[in-house]
Amino acid sequence: MQLPEHGANPHHLYERLDMPQPKTVLDFSENVNPFGMPERVVHEWPILLSKMTAYPDPIGEPFLSATTRFHQVKKDSVFVGNGAAELLALLAERYRGKRAVIVHPTFSEYESTLRVKDVQIKRIVLSGESGFQLPIEAIQHAMGKADVLYLCTPNNPTGILPTRVEITELIRYGEKVDCEIILDEAFIDFVDETLSFIPDIESYTNLIIVRSMTKMYAIPGIRLGYVIAHPSVISQIKKFAPHWNVNGIAASIGEICLKEKAFVEKSVMHSAREREKLAGFLLAHECIVTESVANFLSFKLNGDRSARQLYVYLLKRGIVLRHSENFLGMDGNWLRVGVKSEADMHVLKEELAKWFADN
């Protein structure tokens, strides 16, 4: 039985596995804010609807200006796009026929977007036994023969954030060997915005940062994200991008979201609290838990207990986790859990406790 690769689609999962779907399903396979979108988006929806009758701004306003104000960067250093997936595809075009280094386990779309552009990929697979820590020297050696390094910070699926010293060391080494660094900061706002490398953009011409609005603001259906990089990189991305790639409603919602400071602070506190409670629970049941700082964590069962057996057990009870069978370096032995509401997390721990008691 082969499991579907992506999470966040329970109906498809149950259908693929030919398994009856329970009436109530709690989906922990997605990493989206459990608070949902900011209330102001809902409040202003009648106004937003008027955007449907007009062509959108060709450069993504008012969202473009909102990102420059939020991050204190210049407009020529920002490109807004139809979600991080589009941005990764546009960046892959930049490396067509070249060489890339990808550190695994990580987000699968880095590799999938690069392969269709005939990019040669060097994989560096981290070990769970070493806590999925970065082997800096091995990465640098690979960078010496590559055009770009992809890093997810914090990483999906482990939730681990490399130290600022480690990331800076790789960026500076990249300058020496003419290797660009793409930092995917899709989850950094669940940690601390001050840990972002966006303020360093003007210092390093080889640094490219990808940001997503999906996770923190719970708007996956809107498709909105942005790249911040040296103006020469942004100029090239614009040449590859389709016209009107960001719709008017999305651009306006993005502007609203970037003003929601209190919403973000509340979300960060909730994420950290519930993640640590779950980590403590799993450790008490002798699991190995990643040192996550994000709104999710991954864990491994001890001994010969089967991750797939637990995964299927929970599925039958309407609880969906993210398996790791397509994550290199995890090989199906780990499970990822996204933080949800306190009540949902309680339900999860109750079901886990029942399984642990019998296994």
Q: What residue has token string 């996550």? A: 292
174 and 56 in a common domain = yes
Q: What is the pLDDT of residues 273-314, one digit of tens each?
A: 999 999 999 999 999 999 999 999 999 999 899 999 999 999
290 and 223 in a common domain = no
Q: Would you place residue 93 in the very low, low, confident or very high pLDDT band (cuts 50, 70, 90)?
A: very high
| Domains in the chain, number | 2
Residue 332's contacts (CB-CB under 8 Å, 6 or more residues apart) are 307, 308, 323, 324, 325
First to last CA, the chain: 22
Give the pLDDT confidence score for residue 10 in this predicted structure. Answer: 87
The Cα 241–Cα 238 span in angstroms is: 5
128 and 161 in a common domain = yes
Q: Would you place residue 1 in the very low, low, confident or very high pLDDT band (cuts 50, 70, 90)?
A: low
269 and 136 in a common domain = no
Strand duo 319-320 + 296-300: pairing: unpaired
339 and 197 in a common domain = no
1 in any annotated domain: no
The pLDDT mean for the chain works out to 96
The Cα 184–Cα 27 span in angstroms is: 24
332 in any annotated domain: yes
Q: Give me the mean pLDDT over the 327-350 stretch.
A: 97
pLDDT at 2 exceeding the cut of 80? no
212 in any annotated domain: yes
99 residue type, one letter: R
The Cα 215–Cα 82 span in angstroms is: 14
Last residue of a domain, one of 257, 278, 293: 257
143 and 78 in a common domain = yes
Last residue of a domain, one of 233, 257, 281: 257
Give the pLDDT confidence score for residue 3 in this predicted structure. Answer: 77
pLDDT at 7 exceeding the cut of 70? no
CATH (domain of 251): 3.40.640.10
pLDDT at 35 exceeding the cut of 90? yes
The Cα 50–Cα 212 span in angstroms is: 25
Q: What is the pLDDT of residues 108-135, one digit of tens each?
A: 999 999 999 999 999 999 999 999 999 9
205 and 83 in a common domain = yes
80 in any annotated domain: yes
298 and 246 in a common domain = no
83 and 111 in a common domain = yes
Give the pLDDT confidence score for residue 8 in this predicted structure. Answer: 66
230 in any annotated domain: yes
118 and 57 in a common domain = yes
User: Nearest-5° angle of CA 324, CA 354, CA 338?
Assistant: 35
Last residue of a domain, one of 191, 226, 257: 257
Structural domain boundaries enclosing 335: 10-30+262-358
Q: What are phi and psi of 307, to 5 degrees?
A: -65, -40
The Cα 300–Cα 336 span in angstroms is: 9
Question: In sequence order, what are the beta bridge partners of 148?
Answer: 100, 180
Question: In sequence order, what are the beta bridge partners of 152?
Answer: 184
176 in any annotated domain: yes
What is the distance of C-alpha 255 from the center of its chain?
A: 21
351 and 244 in a common domain = no
Give the pLDDT confidence score for residue 6 in this predicted structure. Answer: 62
Peptide bond connecting 154 to the previous residue in cis, omega within 30 degrees of 0: yes
Question: In sequence order, what are the beta bridge partners of 298?
Answer: 336
184 in any annotated domain: yes
CATH (domain of 279): 3.90.1150.10
In percent, how much of the chain has pLDDT > 90?
A: 93
Strand duo 99-104 + 120-125: pairing: parallel
Give the pLDDT confidence score for residue 11 in this predicted structure. Answer: 85
Which whole-number Å values give the CA distances from 84 to 88, 90, 227, in the listed order?
6, 10, 9
108 and 157 in a common domain = yes
Helix, strand, or coil here: 182? Answer: strand
The Cα 269–Cα 273 span in angstroms is: 6
In percent, how much of the chain has pLDDT > 70?
A: 99
For 90-96, which contacts have Cβ atoms below 8 Å and span 24 or more sequence positions?
90/227, 90/237, 90/240, 90/241, 91/182, 91/208, 91/210, 91/227, 91/237, 92/116, 92/117, 92/119, 93/117, 93/240, 94/148, 94/233, 94/236, 94/237, 94/240, 95/119, 95/147, 95/148
3 in any annotated domain: no
Spatial contact of 230 and 205, defined as CB atoms under 8 Å apart: yes
Give the pLDDT confidence score for residue 100 in this predicted structure. Answer: 99
Give the pLDDT confidence score for residue 16 in this predicted structure. Answer: 87
The Cα 188–Cα 348 span in angstroms is: 25
> Per the structure block, which two tokens stand in for 322?
């993210």
Which whole-number Å values give the CA distances from 292 to 116, 212, 268, in the listed order?
31, 19, 13
Q: What residue has token string 């398996």? A: 323
Q: What is the pLDDT of residues 192-248, one digit of tens each?
A: 999 999 999 999 999 999 999 999 999 999 999 999 999 999 999 999 999 999 999
Helices (H) and strands (E) counted in the chain, each on its own, are 14, 13
